[in-house]
Amino acid sequence: MGVLLKITHDEHHINFTKKEINFYGYTTYTKEVWRQIKDLNWYIDENKLKKGEKTYIYTGSSKFGRYKDLHQIVMLIWYGVDKIKEAYDKRFIVEHHDNDAFNCLIENLSFASNDINIAKAHTYDKERPKLINKVAVHFFKDFESGKYQITLGFNESYTLVEDFKKTNVTAIYLLYNDDFRLVFTDVSRIVWDLLEKDSIDFSILSYIDKEIKPDIYIKIKDGQDPPVFTTIDGKPAIILSDKIRINKLAPKKDLFQKNH
């Protein structure tokens, strides 16, 4: 057995922690998920963790049969045992979108073929971190609508040109139907093109809807440092600077429902 983890929850997350080794993992909180997993013992392989090897949060319980890893059990609870059995019978695996094995939020998990998993490991998973100082690129799946969303949060000034119109943008949101392979193909292309050409060719992408958030400029008095937070149209906003960067841009929930 590995190191026993403490399991707690708040309004949004179920948390798996071990303070002594500075470990933190999490999944999406619902009353049903909490009911199903709260009384189980959960572990992490400390030896693999120290070596930087791939390892997962797992249970020693036989409650869910052959499924022991947290990401497997989360998918089983949300999608049903038949769905996960069908996926594994087809030699699919549970893919962590952001390549973080300890981020088991339902929005970060999809069934994907092992071939796609290998391709992702050698392309997107390696290339995306190289881009993050310029653009934070992620993708998410919405359980209710079944749709995906690719998000781009810009940490450097970026001018988008469409129909001969220039727009300085802070964020771009792209909506997709339920097709992991298509989303993976597009998000990989976006990352590669931004790395190599600093551009995005929307004409070759397969999104079904798009929203763009243009830059908002705030006047700062001479000699003053920009504030970290402000309010725009009654809503709180973060002011980006050399010290404040976007690491991950959350999806727009209303965009998932727009074409649902």
Q: Which long-range contacts (CB under 8 A, 24 or more apart) does 57-64 make?
A: 57/5, 57/16, 57/25, 57/101, 57/102, 57/104, 58/2, 60/1
For residue 72, how many other CB atoms are within 10 A of its CB?
21
How big is the chain by its Cα radius of gyration, in Å?
20
| pLDDT for residue 242 | 57
The closest alpha carbon to 57, from 13, 98, 9, 7, belongs to 7
Distance, in Å, from the CA atom of 89 to the CA atom of 250, rounded to the nearest integer, reads 32
Residue 87: predicted pLDDT = 95
Q: Check residue 69 and report its DSSP letter.
A: B
Residue pair 141/223 in contact (Cβ under 8 Å)? The answer is no
Q: What is the pLDDT along the chain (260 residues), one digit of tens a residue?
A: 589 999 999 999 999 999 999 999 999 999 999 999 999 999 999 999 999 999 999 999 999 999 999 999 999 999 999 999 999 999 999 999 999 999 999 999 999 999 999 999 999 999 999 999 999 999 999 999 999 999 999 998 888 877 778 888 999 999 999 999 999 999 999 999 999 999 999 999 999 999 999 855 555 556 666 655 556 555 555 555 555 678 899 999 999 987 65
pLDDT digits (tens, 9 = 90+) for 141-171: 999 999 999 999 999 888 887 777 888 899 9
Classify residue 107 by its DSSP letter. G
d(CA 104, CA 70): 7
Residue 206: count of CB within 10 angstroms of its CB: 12
As to burial, measured by CB atoms within 10 angstroms (0-12 exposed, 13-18 middle, 19+ buried), residue 12 is exposed
**Residue type (1 letter), 155:** N
Give the N- to C-terminal CA distance of the chain in Å, as an integer.
Answer: 44
Alpha carbons 135 and 158: distance in angstroms, whole number: 9
pTM of the model: 0.89
| pLDDT computed for residue 234 by the predictor | 59
User: For residue 162, what pLDDT is reported?
Assistant: 77
Q: Residue 256 forms beta bridges with which residues?
A: none
Please calculate the CA angle 98-148-153 and round it to the nearest 5 degrees. Answer: 60
| Residues 150, 208 contacting (CB under 8 angstroms) | no
